[in-house]
Chain A
Amino acid sequence: MLAIINANIVPVAGEAMPDATLLMRDGKIEALGTDVEIPGEARVIDARGRTVTPGIVEAHAHVGISEQGLGAEGSDHNETTDPVTPHVRAIDGINPRDDAFREFREAGITTALVPPGSANLLGGSAVVLKCSGTIVDDMVILDPAGMKAALGENPKGAYGQRQGKAPATRMGSAALLREALVAAREYMEKQDAAEADDDTDPPGFNAKHEALLPVLRREMPLRIHCHRADDIVTAVRIGEEFDLCYTLEHVTEGQYVTELLAKHRVPCAVGPTLQHGSKVENRERDFRAPLALAAAGVPMCFTTDHPVIAGQYLALTAGIAVSWGMDYDAALAAITATAAEHAGVADRVGTLEPGKDADVVIWSGDPLDFTTFADVTIIDGDVVYERGV
């Protein structure tokens, strides 16, 4: 049992509470407020003068799967033998000993959605993890947590340009993506027919089609990588055509198609906004997209796309967004509550509320300031990082 006292608690759900107490028991938040009674056996941390928020949620990070400082040996996020690999699972490529998990904890990041990369049109299923542990299976909050898809430059670069095979164009990418979805839908219909009729044989097992069934049944989202406005529009076109739940990842030119995204209320993970102009499709990256989306009421969160930008700069990114005019509370939500919704784990993390996981950060100052430290990071009620001062 753990209690934080005298804290400026920013629960993200609801108003900030000055001089408040947060009580955690059995890995969950038990109570928070100004009149919480602290049981005698609780370990007490005095957070006087400091701010307490939910653990930060990084909704699109290749932590553990694009490992730090290992070069090609640690690169396991793109299965580039085939542009359509929905059957691969990110969880099988993640090394919990990637040192980036330590940096995440030190930066107050407690939850990460880890998707496969964007070289493939269908890259495999994502997983949501807690950022502490040795056995990846024990770290899982949600698996599968969506199917990764990609449009734009990366698939045609990985195949058309490097391997001389499809897709070589944007229209080729869209066609192959549709083809895979149609084939899986036929497979699903045959399965359903066999289910309904004892005389009809089910189709032969197909791992790729199987992996797409939860997407077609709207049980999990298709998470579509798109930077440029035309790619964003193609993503919406395909998402609507197949009546899918879908999210957009990166959304670099979102400011040009705000109305469309608002109309469909498409959840967007925006970023990495601090990235350098590594390719033509991210040429327009800056803070116009997140500001426009937030202003239009599109559900949006920030992402670093770690390691494209190291995950530890997620809060700093939200700070810069505030300097450009984003509402402070919206910016903080964009790295906590909204990010948790984007990842599909808002029932467990993203806000400080009784019954939610005890994922908590004590900050040395304003969490969005460049010079603020995460002093203490707590996951499931355990202190997983404490800054030596």
Chain B
Amino acid sequence: MRAYIGARIYPVDAPPFDDGVMLVDDGHIQEVGADVRVPDGVETVDLSGRVVIPGMVDAHSHAGMWGDGEGDASRDGNERPGPIAADVDAVDSVNPHHRSFASCREGGVTSVMIHPGSGNAIGGLCFAAKTRGEIVDDMVIRAPTGLKGALGENPKRGSGKDSPKTRMGTAALIRDYFARAAEYGRKKDADKDPDPDAGFENALRVLRGEIPFRVHAHRADDIVTATRLCEALDIRYNIEHCTDGYLLAEFLGHRELTAHVGPGLSSRGKVEVANRDERNAALLHAAGVRVCLVTDHPFLDVRYLMAYGGVAHKHGLPFDATLRALTLTPAESIGIADRVGSLAKGKDADFLVLAGEPFRYRSPILSTFVEGEEVYTRQQP
């Protein structure tokens, strides 16, 4: 057991407190609070003057499968030719030795949901993992955690012979996929033994409510199409990116949707992000949408997620909501809040030691801990 003492602690699911004590044993939080007694003989780590927050949870990442200066050889996010790549599983594309995981740890991200890309109308299965480890299967927190779908520009660029050329074409493909999967399911239920189809099996997981459909949509009309498609199917879903969300805040707020807003700190390189606005996260939150701030790593280098939080906070997302949007809300959205996302008794000891209050450039992440192990230590060059 080890005791971390003296820091100001933001548990996220409870008010912050100064001079906190957190007892960690066997990778889990045994106790956390201001009045926790440190048992005799326990090793203590003095964090006076520091700030402790939960390890951040990035609900939309391509860590291990994309980018980070590795060129074409490591692009494993979009299975081609599409447009329906429902049978693939992101777990099979992820390289734990990819430098992006080191970037996650440096950036204070201890849990990620790794998605297939958005090049296909149906992209494959997402899963949740810790950001340290050698064997991807050992890093998994939960798998699968969703089926990826995509609307808007990206699926239209597909090279497959059936790739859609229009937004209505993409929507039709997604409807058709779920309709045929439902028929497949009915045949199975009737013991008619249809030919095994991994893509349809994954659709059934969505149709039966086991996992949500996670829909890439930037532009307002694409977001509305996502709601139209998913509500007709009566499936759980959330919006990935949700760039125009602030233009529909009330519409989305009524639905109590979760929006994975990001990548932050980006420009408006595509037409579908022409309305990008820094106030998006704040306006969605104010309307009652559950907001997660995401990197879409590598598209926002995950080392700068905390800076993105600062910018969202600057543009009106309240401090507590910003912290939650980087920790507990994404953990809930992914379905791993029983283990991560806040500092509470029994949860994994995933936490960050900051030099000061979050979201300031003078408060960098000094250390990152995953399950009680220090996996990143800041060293000035």
Which of A's residues lie within 8 Å of B, judged by CB?
A: 68-71, 99-100, 255, 274-288, 291-292, 306-310, 313, 316, 319-320, 322-325, 368-373
Q: Is B50 at the interface (CB under 8 A from chain A)?
A: no
Residue of chain B at shortest CB distance from A288 = B381
CB neighbours (8 Å) of A309 from chain B are: 265-267
> A309-B267, A370-B313, A371-B310 given. 13 additional CB < 8 A pairs?
A68-B268, A68-B269, A69-B271, A274-B301, A276-B297, A276-B301, A278-B67, A307-B268, A309-B265, A316-B307, A370-B310, A370-B314, A371-B359
- 1/0 contact string of B52-80 vs chain A (CB within 8 Å): 00000000000000011111000000000
A286 to B380 alpha-carbon distance, docked (Å): 12
CB neighbours (8 Å) of A100 from chain B are: 267-268
CB neighbours (8 Å) of A275 from chain B are: 301
A14 to chain B, nearest CB (A): 24
Q: Is B270 at the interface (CB under 8 A from chain A)?
A: yes
B64 to chain A, nearest CB (A): 13
Q: Is B37 at the interface (CB under 8 A from chain A)?
A: no
Whether the Cβ atoms of A323 and B364 lie closer than 8 Å is yes
Q: Is B300 at the interface (CB under 8 A from chain A)?
A: yes
Whether the Cβ atoms of A70 and B69 lie closer than 8 Å is no
CB neighbours (8 Å) of B265 from chain A are: 274, 309-310, 313, 316
Q: Is B360 at the interface (CB under 8 A from chain A)?
A: yes
Whether the Cβ atoms of A291 and B381 lie closer than 8 Å is yes
Chain B interface mostly helix, strand, loop or mixed? loop
CB neighbours (8 Å) of A255 from chain B are: 381
The 3 A-B residue pairs whose C-beta atoms are closest, nearest first, are A283-B69, A69-B274, A370-B310
Q: A316-B307, A316-B361, A369-B360 are in contact. Are A276 and B68 (CB under 8 A)?
A: yes
- 1/0 contact string of B305-348 vs chain A (CB within 8 Å): 00100110110000000000000000000000000000000000
* B273, B276, B360, most chain A CB atoms within 10 A: B360
User: Could you pull out 13 A-B pairs where Cβ atoms are within 8 angstroms?
Assistant: A68-B274, A276-B68, A279-B69, A281-B69, A282-B69, A284-B69, A310-B266, A313-B265, A316-B361, A320-B304, A325-B380, A370-B361, A372-B314
B75 to chain A, nearest CB (A): 11
Q: A69-B270, A70-B274, A291-B381 are in contact. Are A323 and B362 (CB under 8 A)?
A: yes
* B99, B274, B299, B300, most chain A CB atoms within 10 A: B274
Q: Is B298 at the interface (CB under 8 A from chain A)?
A: yes
Whether the Cβ atoms of B67 and A274 lie closer than 8 Å is no
A255 to chain B, nearest CB (A): 8
A63 to chain B, nearest CB (A): 10
Q: Which of B240-280 contact A (CB under 8 A)?
A: 265-271, 273-276
Q: Which of B273-307 contact A (CB under 8 A)?
A: 273-276, 297-301, 303-304, 307
Whether the Cβ atoms of B381 and A324 lie closer than 8 Å is yes
CB neighbours (8 Å) of B313 from chain A are: 370-371
CB neighbours (8 Å) of B268 from chain A are: 68-69, 99-100, 307, 310
A220 to chain B, nearest CB (A): 28
A320 to B381 alpha-carbon distance, docked (Å): 13
A68 to B275 alpha-carbon distance, docked (Å): 10
CB neighbours (8 Å) of B361 from chain A are: 316, 319-320, 322-323, 368-370
B320 to chain A, nearest CB (A): 15
Residue of chain A at shortest CB distance from B100 = A277
A308 to chain B, nearest CB (A): 7
B307 to chain A, nearest CB (A): 6
Whether the Cβ atoms of A322 and B362 lie closer than 8 Å is yes
Residue of chain B at shortest CB distance from A285 = B69
Q: Which of B130-160 contact A (CB under 8 A)?
A: none
A310 to B311 alpha-carbon distance, docked (Å): 13
Residue of chain B at shortest CB distance from A287 = B381
Residue of chain B at shortest CB distance from A295 = B381
Whether the Cβ atoms of B69 and A280 lie closer than 8 Å is yes
A71 to B14 alpha-carbon distance, docked (Å): 45
A372 to B362 alpha-carbon distance, docked (Å): 13
